[in-house]
Structure 1
């Protein structure tokens, strides 16, 4: 999962990112509220970890923007040194899903993050078979069938297709797709991604007449939409 972390203390963002990276997540640290907002306008993240007290924009101010502008399903964890009941109520009222009091305990951070991600993305933790209408993804074997008929597909194409279906209707930035599918090979040519997207669209028959549209989002990335009617 791709997680954005906001704290004006670099040692704190280093600690949080170290813990989350060791748990298999991709972590992006930010030291100011304006910096993270600028990035949130351009990039996609699966979760946010926000400090309460940031000099330029407070955690609650960032959170209110997030709840107003971004999908409501994105989980937000507050990390704060403020332990008063009124402070906690204010954070939750602003739209936080959970909170932790500093100093951070590593195992608790991992447990809370995993719990929020499971709640927000339950299909990510389902069985080895994931179904979307006529599409059946078998995650262990990398096998994909459409209406019972197998589709010849590479592992990268499988991963890319599953990423789109798991984020149906959500615009995904090119950087997000790159990290999610190619992770350790981030220097691939831009054309490589476009070629894979084109193959996925063709092999899975993601066309309007079949109820889906896999379309580019100008100067951003791609989005898979399910069409109605």
Structure 2
């Protein structure tokens, strides 16, 4: 699903898009109401997530104008700070479908967005399933299973594992992995990527005896290998 995000706080916007992208959605963020509404005139979205307090327009007015450009079924969610009861009442009164209180929790964000999209687009509820041997990736909820049992992974680990399985046998550079999984996070320490790769290897048991091997490629990156019987 294509989700538009209005959030003037760039790190917050990047986090939202990172989490929603890892859950299988297409996400585009905007810094101002003017920018968002201008884009919606050209290209609509399946859902809007918006900060209720942006400097260039009142939240209720942003919501009203956005709804004129969005499909009638497109759900809207607004974000407010702690102790913002008046903003919550205003947002719900203005017709928003749901809200979240900052600081955001990743799991709750994905769950609330998924619930709204399921209600808005019942014909598209089925999760895309990708099968790689004993591993099943359910992209919509971001769930990973091995032989039918759920593996406890974070959204980042899910995205990283799926990237490797979609590129079995292909060396992936550290730069490519960074751009694919960490998206707009510019200063990701090398050890952070290595730690996540190690966690994926251990949680998924990517060892020769299980038919897969996740190995470093010297001075380049990593490669997932599928071994013969």
TM-score by length of 2: 0.53
**DSSP-derived class of the 1:41 partner:** helix
The aligned runs of 1:23-172 (5 Å cut-off) are: 23-81=23-81, 83-125=83-125
Structure 2 distance, partners of 1:120, 1:27, is 17
Deviation at 1:122, TM superposition (A): 0.5
Q: In the TM superposition, what whole-angstrom CA distance separates every residue of 1:48-89 from its partner, at most 9, and x where no partner exists?
A: 100011111233221011223432211001011153333211
Structure 2 distance, partners of 1:42, 1:83, is 36
Deviation at 1:126, TM superposition (A): 5.3
Structure 1 distance, partners of 2:42, 2:99, is 26
Preserved CA contact (<8 Å) 1:33 1:58: no
Any unmatched runs of 5+ in structure 1? 129-138, 141-229
Question: Cα–Cα, structure 1 residues 14 and 126, in superposed 2: closer, same or farther, change >3 Å?
Answer: closer
**DSSP-derived class of the 1:65 partner:** helix
Structure 1 distance, partners of 2:43, 2:107, is 28
**DSSP-derived class of the 1:99 partner:** strand
Q: In the TM superposition, what whole-angstrom CA distance separates every residue of 1:176-220 from its partner, at most 9, and x where no partner exists?
A: xxxxxxxxxxxxxxxxxxxxxxxxxxxxxxxxxxxxxxxxxxxxx
Deviation at 1:119, TM superposition (A): 0.4
Count of matched residue pairs: 130
Structure 2 distance, partners of 1:62, 1:37, is 8
Q: In the TM superposition, what whole-angstrom CA distance separates every residue of 1:18-75 from its partner, at most 9, and x where no partner exists?
A: 1001101111010000000000000021101000111112332210112234322110
Aligned to 2:192: none
Any unmatched runs of 5+ in structure 2? 131-229
Preserved CA contact (<8 Å) 1:60 1:94: yes
Question: Cα–Cα, structure 1 residues 84 and 126, in superposed 2: closer, same or farther, change >3 Å?
Answer: same
**DSSP-derived class of the 1:79 partner:** strand
Aligned to 2:9: 9
